[in-house]
Structure 1
């Protein structure tokens, strides 16, 4: 049975690669899930019926569109917009919009595929989707970003709705962009559907903790991992890559839980501050000035800035890669292991290469995949949807408690599932199977869809 199942899974993966040529990130995401599925297909052969795996890998809908916009000098630019509505069996499609030059269909599909299982793990009624554009907001004025967002939403609004597809932010899409997108949606539809986008401002339908949620959630998940290992965050030395929204609020919550984040980064380099990253200064630089991480050392001369290089050279007990996909490679993982890392939790989506993951696993490092560790953002988005549906607004502490409980539940689900399938401590297998089983059961119940 084992050989037959493995052969079938391998054969279909070859078909995924053939039918989705030139999309390596998507291939990587599918391979990582398939690696965990043999054991569950052996135990429950019904999951192999009805081409369920094949249907799961094929998006329900892929939308690609032109986004023309005019810069402040009157020049017309054309970008490409995407929305992949991957799986709606548990609820409306839910997943962020990413504005970054690297965005292409393969990256959006990989993100959407991951989102299916991540959203299922939250226990909330949301399906999986993702979108974005190859537009680069860096260096653009507010007026240029507004014109781009309005053009983007002019097409996207045809395909979304609070019961259909609810986008949120991601890399390059924060509160400013969500505001422009929501304003254009309201203008085009002549209706105030606050539940159609999440990550909104607090005065117009947004949720407390939404901005902080992905970073907070990753820190909560790490705390659960440490507790399971018989220790705690107190006194732990932590490295968080990136310096965007996820990284900033992971740093904040790690500090609140008693750890010390000594390093963070951006695309140009990284800083090391042995006394702990000054969070208010980092927020000032990144959220207010929209500056670069190197500006930190102008105010904190005792800190060190390293242009280029690898942040994974900094010794730590806990690493939280929170920048972008495939940022932690084999060399970085080997250095982390050599320096004694005990826990790695993905704050970003698939920031760890397969080679790096093999290194960490073989060294016995506890590793949490993004579909579990960074699910806090989408979980709080779903809480925002609940508040919008009931015309309600929850206070910060209550929402933070809900987030903490959801992350604890996800951790418990991963641990229990890994133990059930004979791989105790394997968070990757626990997350993949935990999410898969929930989606697969619903798909089987609904027939061939």
Structure 2
């Protein structure tokens, strides 16, 4: 069990939570449906069966204990699906036609180089490899981030330090073949600090002697966020179907059923992805709609306009020892409040023609008709661009950034924060059982994103 301050849970060093030990696995690459089902079965056998996909695309298994955790780790290690060592996150769709490089292959090379270098690094250190494809990683923060781009016909890697795509300090660019060596040397300079700490103390001068770096600010165009939910083309003319986990979690048996459905439709891999989603890789185009319907029946998010995509929630109480409120139960109530009526789903199962995003199906769920707000545009407390964050405590682990509306648990109940984080002082407090009614009453003074 991990007791190092600030440490992250990992496969062999799970972290204590309110519902037992939590282990985190960053998959090395796409996982075959059979291996994914075996992983889920191990989570059910040794934990409580709850599996999460994190905002960064890691798999998390809850409810392990001191006796079961080592057996779980050994079984998962035997499957060969976990990337050990320093987390190197790569974009989840390296086989998309727009991808410039195979980011997954480069990430594997980086992991090997970092392991061979035997560097002592702090917890939470992270490297991002963005292959320039459609499902980019601009929103993820990292100590070292690489992004592929084309310069005069040559594919190079822009290298930046200490932040997301907007805030990281641009160092320059490097050729692909030297990227592992450059990343290792950058991590040596960072040492037991974080890149942001080194930059604050010494600026980019600390990294000025890195070899092969072409200095200068690489001004890459900002990229719009592409919705992962839906179908995406692959180079082999097959499809990847993105489905979301409601509030980032699902039970093992449901995930096993999804893997079996994907396999039945020719899927060759299940790939966890940033944004608390799964990509089902290698689906024939004619099978995408059927698979989406099956995923929807299992309770997965298969439409980008599903209200569950705009509500972020941590486990909350009792799963987290720090939680004051049952965050995910509250999130489910809020999503049900905004779920479309059955008649609103008619004719909504078409496929878009843009080749990038396809919204397919919609899970039919029981709704709270007695508490429903009018569905007219401009009504209700959750709008097209709103994001609601429900945090069990003021730490705000699930979404550290500001949200349109943040519900934060405390001894006083649900604190309500507008356009802020879970650490901000709430404007008011309401009891959890009164939250939906309280928010519904605010339609006359709507929250704008």
TM-score by length of 1: 0.30
Greater helix proportion:
1
Higher relative contact order (CA 8 A, sep 6+): 1
TM-score by length of 2: 0.30
Greater strand proportion:
2
